[in-house]
Amino acid sequence: MECEAALMTRPVTEPELLPLVERRCGVDRRSMGWRTFMQGGLTPRRRRGRRAGECNQLIDWHEPHLLALAFSILLLSVVDAFLTLTLMMNGAQEANPVLHYVLATAPELFAVVKMGLTGAGVVVLVAIARATVFRVIQVSSILHGCLLVYLTLIAYEWWMIEQL
């Protein structure tokens, strides 16, 4: 009722002479909250850009192969953590300076920090998977590169364990 009354206050004549009248009523649907996040995550709608030239925009729906790629990277990260700890028990040193510091100060947090850093990086890369770096490399290609690097690292760690 208040909205209708606000609309009927005066007839529109010259816009510069009329005071601004708030015509919106009800709940602001643009507000961001937990419900908005969950609904957008569970029922994604934006699969591509709205206009013809928007091929590298952020979207809410990602290709299914990116999920498999992300899980593969995280699984290989877990395998890498176990192999790293196995090698460290036999005298090896952690090459990552951040994880080396964590191992020196709080070794019980090693797996949590390793999975957190890897998981955060994977989430960011999946979120911007359609973007390009330097207008040449698509970010999803970087995810494929990360998978290859992890496979190579695990093969190297496995070879080192076999040499013990």
pLDDT the model gives residue 97: 94
How confident is the model at residue 149, as a pLDDT? 96
Q: How confident is the model at residue 127 (pLDDT cuts 50, 70, 90)?
A: confident
Burial of 62: CB neighbours in 10 Å, binned 0-12, 13-18, 19+: middle
Domain count, the chain: 2
pTM: 0.65
Compute the distance between CA of residue 53 and CA of residue 24 in angstroms, rounded to an integer: 32
Q: Is residue 57 part of a domain?
A: no
Q: What is the extent of the structural domain holding 70?
A: 62-164
Both 81 and 131 in one domain: the answer is yes
Query: Reduced to 3 states, what is the DSSP secondary structure of residue 144?
Result: helix
d(CA 13, CA 8): 13
Is 73 a member of any domain? yes
| 60-97 per-position pLDDT tens digit | 667 788 889 999 999 999 999 999 999 999 999 999 99
E-assigned strand segments in 19-140: 132-133, 137-138
25 has pLDDT over 80? no
